[in-house]
Structure 1
């Protein structure tokens, strides 16, 4: 896991680089847990917010193991806006 916290309220709260062997859904939960300062097991199930199998398939590397930079998925999870793009996950405040 490679996470970089941002200082500005307008910027993302965290940027998480996904390990190529890690499913995107696992990385989303880990990134949101890091931002929330909680254990990943304490967060609600991701499948209540997004179709997890579809998310993993949409952003999974192609056969050549090249990340899918041409696909971006954005959704709200645990009061945060989560953007999955290629091998990067960013977590933003919802502005509420």
Structure 2
């Protein structure tokens, strides 16, 4: 995971996964756990913010196994982060400065 930028208002972290072979929701949980030096079970429940199965289905291969060929992204709030997931498996986490200074 990389710390891409640190602006006056937020800190941005980025990681990637292969949505055709990996679960986007599991990679997201792993990334947030690493950022917070916590176990995944200690984090807020992802399904309170977004449906993890729908997130995985949106970026994973079609039920026929054929990879998706469209470009897209979804953005949502997860705990103190604004999360953006892109078709290529890029997961970007924006953390407001106020949350960064509390950690």
Question: How many residues are aligned here?
Answer: 93
Unmatched segments (≥5 aa) in structure 2: 99-103
TM-score (norm 1): 0.78
In 2, the alpha carbon distance for the partners of 1:36 and 1:69 equals 33
Query: Where do 1:43-82 residues align within 5 Å?
Result: 43-62=43-62, 63-65=65-67, 70-82=71-83
Once the 2 structures are TM-superposed, how far is the Cα of residue 95 of structure 1 from its aligned partner?
Answer: 5.5
Q: Select 1:88's aligned residue among 87, 90, 95.
A: 90
TM-score (norm 2): 0.73
1:21 aligns with 2:33: no
RMSD: 2.3
Which is further off, 42-51 or 7-16? 7-16
Name 2:2's counterpart in structure 1.
Answer: 4
Once the 2 structures are TM-superposed, how far is the Cα of residue 18 of structure 1 from its aligned partner?
Answer: 0.7
Q: Deviations over 1:35-60 (max 9, x none)?
A: 22222221121111101111111111
Q: Secondary structure at the match of 1:50?
A: coil
Runs (4+) off by over 3 Å: 61-66
Which of these two proteins has the greater Rg computed from alpha carbons? 2
Contact 1:82–1:91 (CA<8 Å) still a contact in 2?
Answer: yes
